[in-house]
Each structure stands twice: as C-alpha cells, then as structure tokens.
Chain A
C-alpha cells in the first residue's frame, strides 16, 4: 500500500476507514452474523407463538417475544422483581466467593503437600459426584435458615470445579521453572508465591468459570425447591400463578445474569494474567 510506505503524508480519512475495516473484517463479520442469528431466533419464536404451532411440541401457551417484553417493562419498575434479582446475585456472590476462598488455597496446598492431598482427596472424590441439588434436603437440615442452606448449595456447586481445576493446574506446573527459581535463590515460600501460584492461575480461572456456571445451576434449583425470593423462585412462582410471560422473563434473566457473571470472571482473568493476552 503506498500510504504505508510514505509516512510523511498522513493517510486520508477514507484510507483509514478502509484499513480499519480490513484489519477488523473477521470481527465485524462475526458480530454481523451474531446479530442476524439472534434476530432470526426472535423471529422464529415470534412466528411459532403467534400461530400457536403444535408439532410434537406445543407452543399453545408459550408467550410471544412481545408479551415477554411487555412483562419485562413492567417488571423493571417492580421493586419485588428487582429484589428477586438482587437476592439471587447476593447468594451467588457469597456462595461463589466462599468456594473460591476455600477451594483455591486448598487446591494449592493439596497440590504442594502430598500428605494433605492423600488425606483430603478421597473425601473430595466421594462427595464430588453428588449433585448440589441432591444436597437440598440435607442442607435444610444442616442450616438454621433457608437463606443459609441456599448459599450452602451454591457454595457446594462451585467448590468442586474450583478445587479440581486448581489441583490440575498445580499438577501441570513445569518442574524446570521450579528449578530455575531454586537456583536463583528462591525458598519454599517464594517458590509457592512466584512459581506455583502464577503457573496455576490459568487453570484456577478455568475452575472459577466452570464453578460460576455450576453455582447458577445449583442456585436456581435450590431456589425453585426451597426458596422464598430469588430469580429461580420467581420463575417457578410464575408457573404456579399461570404468568406465562414471566416464566420466559425469569429464564432470560437467569441467562443474562449467568452470562454477565462469567464475563466478569473472564475480565478478572485478563486483568490478573496480562501475559496471556494475545
């Protein structure tokens, strides 16, 4: 391109736009297709519900996108709906944070000290396959309040993915890096902080992302079964009260919240691991 070989004359606005387009072509393409695909989804949903299609699956009672939008505009002015959302977010925040605060250090210590691993790992392996939902009756017995048992279920759901991925990260730490640190004078504590921890971070963040997903699954299930308040409870209540539009609204809210929280974790990961940016 002639403009790039003669830096003395600034390129015209047109060339800049053209260049920007050329560099970002792939991204633009993906965005455009994404928007079209979402619109198509809405359109299909609209047609299926407007014409009340029955073809194995019955769309007779399924609310249309417009009906859901109408209940959305109503709901955002309803303090009760906002309270549902706020409470769910709080439960996620507390349960997930506890899981991270316990799971990450525990995984790091288990990965570093064989004895701790040998003691804790068998118990973790037995408890791990139990789905968080199966803990609901036990959780209600264990904890004095409903709120605590729901947070506990959320905690359990995210705890095991975080622990397992942290352990996995620790097992993959390159021993040569540990040696390199040792012959630069690093002692146990520094090696832990400067080598094992940062080397495991990518897997820790995988664990946090997976854990966040499972936290939402567990939370919604717990809220539907035992809740008062919470977006899972809202969705279930809408079904009981035959508020069909609210069912879809609750589902979409859950989806958006789940997406938002995993984006937060991804963003945090990029902040903490700048060396992984391409």
Chain B
C-alpha cells in the first residue's frame, strides 16, 4: 500500500507518428492518422474530439489492445506490445466482474501478481477506505450505484500501482451531479498518487476542469488538431468553472470541436438531405445553424 502511495513520479507516455487503420471490403479505413501525443510523468492529459474521431482507438492503442499500423507507443521508453498491469484502465461501462465482490474486484490485479490472500485483502481494504467504499467491500457490483461502481473501477485500476492510468469516458454514463463528485474524487486520487493520466472524454468542461493539458482531435480520420495547456491553478474548485479564464478556455475548445463535429456530420447531413432533418437554412451556411 505505502509502496503505491509514495512511488516516485514516472509514466512517460509517448505516441509517435501514430496511425491506425483497419481492413474493410472497400479497402483499408484510416481511424487515426499522423498523431503525436505525450504525457509527462505525473501529468493529467485529456483527449477531446467529436464522436467517432478515434480518441478511444488511440487510448486502446496506449493500453495495448490495438496495434498501431505505423508509428510507436512507448511508456518510459519501453514499447507497448500488449495490455499490462503497468497501464491501468478504467472503462465507461465500469466492467467490474459481476461474480466478484467489491473487494475481490479490487484484489484482482494483486491476485494476478501472485500476492498472498491476506496481504492483498489488507491492501484492497486500505484502498477501498480511501475511496469511502469500505462498507461495501462484500457487496456484489450489481447492488451498487453507477458512481460507486466507477469508484471501484478506479480503485481496481490503481491497486496494482500502475505507471499510468487510462480512462475511456469513465463518467459518460453518470448523471451530472455524480459526475462532478467523481471528477473531484479522481483529482484527489491523482494528486495523491502522482500518476500520469490519459483521459478520453467528449465533455469539454470535464476536460478543462481535470487536465493540465488537452488535446483536441479532428474528425475521422482523427489526428491532433490542437494542444491546449490549461493554466488553471490547483487545487481546482467547482466555482472556477464560472471564472472568465475557464470560460475563455471553454469557448476556444468549443469552437475547435464544433468545426470538427460539423465536418464529421456534414457528410451524413447532405447525404440524408436537409429536408429530412427539418433544418431551415434561410440562406445561412451549415456552420451557422448547427
């Protein structure tokens, strides 16, 4: 446990000359093209972009689930060749094991590492305590609310003391209030553990509120359109979301994403015909309407 908390900052993620395409009957389809990103040790970095831009693809490649078609993904200089406990992952669908209790879920990574039962039980209890979940250690995930499930998901991913934490729209399925609390909890844990975080979301507020830096991706095939540093001071408070600094960042990011969303949807809209969507253009361009 202490080993996890006091670990020196490490976990430098580097994605270089990255592209990923998959085969289809019409030939190879490029999901992500010509992408470079990096996350410094202990840094919190988000990727935002229109839906289908390949941000999850990119994250899955960092996790080791997908192989890049060209380019390379490294963590601390080591090439990523497949999934590993060094890169913890949190999924939108929680993906807790329904047949394991909360504590058994958290213990899983330690069990895989061969840690003896009593030791991993103790470690899991400590971690659950940090997340305010000790009372639920014997519950099955089915009995928990979405926010609790995702707290277990985060704790489970952190239990093995990974170098980096990858999150794929982790709060996408939660209601607005729970979301805000979860963002706060994640920030607290991240500051405590000094772990590098790569966070994928389509929620601009969330990206700004959480991150040190935000990458904005283009529509498919996805690549990095812009890299925006978030100079807001820490610890961040909910009230900051009303500050002019925050709102300016939000406006900037918003217009970047909007351009890309329209690009992504443009094809669909003209294909279907605007009448079908009940959009009256009144002579204005599509970008003005949406």
| Contacts from A to B (Cβ < 8 Å) | 174, 176-177, 179-187, 190, 194-195, 198-199, 201, 273-275
Known pairs A180-B89, A275-B140; A185 contacts B112 (CB<8 A): yes
CB 8 Å contact bits of B105-119 with A (1 = contact, 0 = none): 000110011000000
B69 interfacial by beta-carbon distance below 8 Å: no
Residues of A within 8 A of B99 (CB): 198-199, 201, 273, 275
Residues of A within 8 A of B98 (CB): 275
Q: Are A198 and B160 in contact (CB under 8 A)?
A: no
B85 interfacial by beta-carbon distance below 8 Å: yes
Least CB distance, B115 to chain A, in whole angstroms: 11
Q: Are B112 and A183 in contact (CB under 8 A)?
A: no
B residues 48-107 touching A (CB-CB < 8 Å): 63-65, 82-85, 87-89, 91, 93, 95-101
A-B contact pairs, 13 of them (CB 8 A): A179-B63, A179-B65, A179-B83, A180-B91, A180-B96, A182-B65, A183-B63, A183-B88, A184-B157, A185-B109, A194-B108, A275-B98, A275-B100
Q: Are A176 and B112 in contact (CB under 8 A)?
A: no
Residues of B within 8 A of A185 (CB): 84-85, 109, 112-113, 160
Known pairs A176-B93, A194-B97, A275-B140; A181 contacts B87 (CB<8 A): no
C-alpha gap A273/B156 in the complex (Å): 22
Q: How many A-B residue pairs have CB under 8 A?
A: 66
| Interface contacts beyond A179-B83, A275-B142: sample of 18 additional A-B pairs, CB < 8 Å, sorted by A | A176-B95, A177-B95, A182-B64, A182-B83, A183-B64, A183-B84, A183-B85, A183-B89, A184-B85, A184-B88, A184-B157, A185-B160, A186-B108, A187-B112, A190-B112, A194-B108, A198-B99, A275-B100
Residues of A within 8 A of B63 (CB): 179, 183
Overall SS of chain A's interface:
helix
Query: Which chain B residue lies CB-closest to A197?
Result: B99
Least CB distance, B77 to chain A, in whole angstroms: 20
| Contacts from B to A (Cβ < 8 Å) | 63-65, 82-85, 87-89, 91, 93, 95-101, 108-109, 112-113, 140, 142, 156-157, 160
Partner of B112, one of A177, A186, A199, A273: A186
Residues of B within 8 A of A179 (CB): 63, 65, 83, 89, 91, 95
Q: Are B87 and A184 in contact (CB under 8 A)?
A: no
C-alpha gap A198/B99 in the complex (Å): 7
Least CB distance, B155 to chain A, in whole angstroms: 12
Least CB distance, B28 to chain A, in whole angstroms: 23
Residues of B within 8 A of A181 (CB): 97, 108, 112
Q: Are A183 and B87 in contact (CB under 8 A)?
A: yes
C-alpha gap A206/B134 in the complex (Å): 35
Q: Are B84 and A198 in contact (CB under 8 A)?
A: no
Query: Which chain A residue lies CB-closest to B92?
Result: A176
C-alpha gap A187/B140 in the complex (Å): 24
Least CB distance, B285 to chain A, in whole angstroms: 40
Residues of B within 8 A of A176 (CB): 91, 93, 95
Residues of B within 8 A of A199 (CB): 99
Least CB distance, B42 to chain A, in whole angstroms: 20
Residues of B within 8 A of A174 (CB): 95
Least CB distance, B57 to chain A, in whole angstroms: 14
Sort A-B residue pairs by CB-CB distance and give the 8 closest, nearest first: A185-B85, A184-B109, A182-B83, A198-B99, A185-B112, A275-B140, A180-B95, A183-B83
The residue in A181, A195, A273 that gathers the most chain B C-beta atoms within 10 A of its C-beta is A181
Query: Which chain A residue lies CB-closest to B98?
Result: A275
Residues of A within 8 A of B95 (CB): 174, 176-177, 179-180
